[in-house]
Structure 1
Amino acid sequence: MAFDDLSDEDLALATSRVAADALHSARLLAASRLVDGPGCGAGDAATAVDVLLARDPADARYELLQAFEKPWAALVIRILAPVADPAPAMQDARDRGVTAAAIAKALGVSQQALYQNPRYAEIVRRR
């Protein structure tokens, strides 16, 4: 078997890994901007991502970063969307309280277009 022969299962696994790596990279880049600006004092970008993902209110670093988590989540979408499926970042943003309007803006589309996209409508629809 040649090195580039992939079964459907292997290809799906590789695609999933690349998508997860892209999401992680977008989170790091957005966190880097955050800690270089208003979130300074929260540690490095990797630490900020860990703190934001944990969302532990007992963590003083989260207390500092919490005010910026919605804009951070929207920036992750904006960074990720041109290179990978933004759906996981969109779901995370919605879970953090980011509005559909802010998600649409991050994607560079109208809110109506967002709701008309069958792939994203369920994510942004009010619960």
Structure 2
Amino acid sequence: MAQQLRALISSDCDVQVVQDAQSLMVAVGLEMPDIVITDITMPGNSGLAAARDILAAHPEARIIFVSVRVEPAVIRQAMAQGARGYVVKADAGDELANAVQAVLDGGSYVSASAQDVLKRGR
């Protein structure tokens, strides 16, 4: 999946792929990327825990979650913790580039499927 996501955005960005939460933390500390794209579910710590730790150490970090998780509580938790974007993996082909651009421009982004789930989950 990481390679597919890389293909979606690599023409415009320098992309580094890591395999687990610990590697993500190290990479962010060393590189301080413009955007961190991560999953909720990953080896080691969850993506939510990794994002929380990244934002505690680097409050300026901009995080976008790309996940199969579509539960309203998970999406809300991700955004409440400071993520700037949430893209459901099924939407990534159509929406990830838009999410990256919106976050780079200082905004936030929630993909269409995630928005639908949030509306229904109220």
Larger-Rg structure: 1
Identify whether the pair has TM-score above 0.5, normalized to the shorter chain.
no
Structure with a larger share of its residues in helix = 1
TM-score (norm 2): 0.31
Q: Which protein has the bigger strand share? A: 2
What's the TM-score, normalizing by structure 1? 0.30
